[in-house]
């Protein structure tokens, strides 16, 4: 099609069809496919609008598991009937995600409002989904259809962590760990984690005090339906993301263990103004050597020193480009390890005519750093949707220097 307007119309029609089909696949298959949808649903800078709308609808809205199944799981975990522990237990879930669904309830003994997170996913199926995607990505890479991104490394990274999400005892311990981290680093007045009711929680059921507020996902979805950014004063928007930057800087650079799934369904603005970080199932350990590498990279990026940035990547990073020029490595860092406006980050990697990765392929991706990049990617997408422009790395310089 030679006429630009007609070509654009044809593409829009194709995208609308493709988005509907992909939403159907995600809803039909569930499991790990929903995690892919979570990533792409925040990629406002890279995805056509039709896909953003479809993926956003899948984030916190899995088809619910029937309540009799949920009840059976909870009662097995408690060792008693629901009515013995809860005076109220809503059959309709508050949220349904890739692995678990969440129900509101009230404790019988003290009347506290709680949420009950119930493991409902099939572990073997979820692990099988990742294995299938890995095998597919390997085949695509062999025939040159991976757009120069090295997707096999990405799926190997997921393979290495997914099993940990199926034990809520681990998640409960992490919630306590990170509450102490935020208290130690002076962030407890701005950042909150849910409080676990330990005596009612187990490997498949996690009971927590209910957090009241507005999920960032809900605010974004309402704004998207109206075709505008969320209604919030710019100072408040900037303040929220400054808190996000500080929290992740402390976790990643100072503590060496961080929440690696900050999609908008996992962030809530509480009524008291605190940022509540939800769903601690997916976290990552940053080994000391990797953390030191990131700290040096932060300092070089804040100084805007291209040679130092490129040298750090060449000598310390697992990422390998076909042509590792100073310009290419520097652009890669600012695009995928920072949230500032970046021409590279705005390019659709699936655009076969313009994707820079087809001209300078990623020969080897980073399994170690993938979840760090994913975290930045999710936060960048949220910022774009909220109309916020800021550099996360600039907020991290103090933490980087302290950690070194």
| Residues 44, 215, 248: CA angle, nearest 5 degrees | 70
Cα(254)–Cα(248) distance, integer angstroms: 9
Q: Measuring CA to CA, which residue among 81, 95, 377, 75 is closest to residue 211? A: 95
Beta strands in 184-333 (DSSP E): 191-192, 205-209, 213-215, 257-259, 267-270, 275-277, 283-285, 320-321
Q: Catalytic residue at 261?
A: yes
The answer to whether 349 and 147 have CB atoms below 8 angstroms apart is yes
Distance of CA 288 to the CA centre of its chain: 23
Q: Measuring CA to CA, which residue among 336, 371, 360 is closest to residue 260? A: 371
Cα(201)–Cα(315) distance, integer angstroms: 45
Q: State phi, psi for 98 to the nearest 5 degrees.
A: -70, -30
Cα(372)–Cα(365) distance, integer angstroms: 12
Residue with token string 């990617």: 377
Beta-sheet pairing, 320-321 with 205-209 = unpaired
- Output the six-digit token pair for 23: 């939403």
Cα(115)–Cα(184) distance, integer angstroms: 27
Cα(37)–Cα(42) distance, integer angstroms: 9
Which of 60, 261, 279, 399 is labelled catalytic? 261
Please give the C-alpha separations between residue 290 and each of 295, 365, 404, in angstroms, as whole numbers: 9, 15, 12
Q: Identify the helix (H) or strand (E) that includes residue 38.
A: helix 32-41
Q: Residue 61 carries which DSSP code?
A: B
The answer to whether 257 and 286 have CB atoms below 8 angstroms apart is yes
- Output the six-digit token pair for 244: 């996000």
Write out the catalytic residue numbers. Answer: 261
């Amino acid at each position: 099609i030679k006429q630009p307007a007609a070509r654009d119309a044809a593409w829009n029609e194709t995208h609308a069809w493709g988005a509907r089909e992909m939403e159907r696949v995600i809803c039909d298959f569930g499991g790990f496919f929903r995690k892919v949808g979570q990533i792409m649903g925040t990629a406002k800078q890279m995805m056509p609008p039709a896909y953003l709308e479809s993926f956003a609808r899948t984030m916190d809205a899995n088809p619910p598991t029937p309540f009799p199944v949920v009840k059976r799981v909870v009662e097995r975990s408690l060792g008693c009937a629901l009515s013995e522990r809860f005076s109220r237990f809503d059959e309709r879930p508050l949220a349904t995600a890739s692995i678990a669904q969440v129900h509101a309830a009230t404790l019988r003994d003290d009347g506290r409002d709680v949420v009950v997170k119930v493991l409902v996913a099939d572990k073997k199926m979820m692990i099988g989904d990742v294995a299938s995607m890995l095998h597919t990505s390997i085949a695509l890479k062999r025939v040159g259809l991976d757009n120069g991104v090295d997707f096999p490394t990405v799926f190997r990274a997921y393979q290495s962590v997914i099993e940990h999400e199926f034990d809520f005892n681990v998640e409960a311990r992490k919630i306590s760990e990170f509450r102490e981290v935020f208290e130690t680093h002076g962030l407890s007045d701005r950042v909150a984690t849910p409080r676990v009711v330990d005596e009612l929680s187990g490997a498949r059921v996690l009971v927590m005090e209910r957090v009241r507020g507005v999920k960032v996902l809900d605010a974004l979805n309402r704004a998207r339906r109206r075709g505008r950014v969320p209604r919030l004063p710019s100072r408040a928007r900037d303040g929220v993301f400054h808190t996000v930057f500080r929290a992740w800087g402390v976790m990643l650079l100072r503590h060496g263990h961080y929440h690696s799934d900050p999609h908008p369904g996992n962030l809530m603005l509480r009524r008291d103004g605190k940022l509540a970080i939800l769903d601690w199932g997916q976290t990552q350990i940053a080994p000391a050597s990797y953390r030191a590498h990131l700290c040096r990279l932060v300092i070089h990026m804040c100084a805007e020193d291209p040679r130092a940035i490129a040298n750090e990547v060449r000598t310390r990073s697992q990422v390998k480009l076909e042509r590792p020029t100073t310009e290419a490595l520097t652009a890669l860092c600012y695009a995928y390890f920072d949230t500032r406006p970046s021409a590279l980050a705005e390019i659709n990697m699936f655009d076969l005519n313009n994707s820079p990765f087809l001209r300078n392929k990623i020969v080897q991706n980073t399994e170690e750093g993938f979840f760090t990049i994913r975290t930045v990617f999710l936060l960048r997408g949220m910022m774009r949707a909220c109309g916020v422009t800021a550099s996360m790395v600039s907020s991290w310089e103090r933490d980087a220097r302290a950690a070194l």
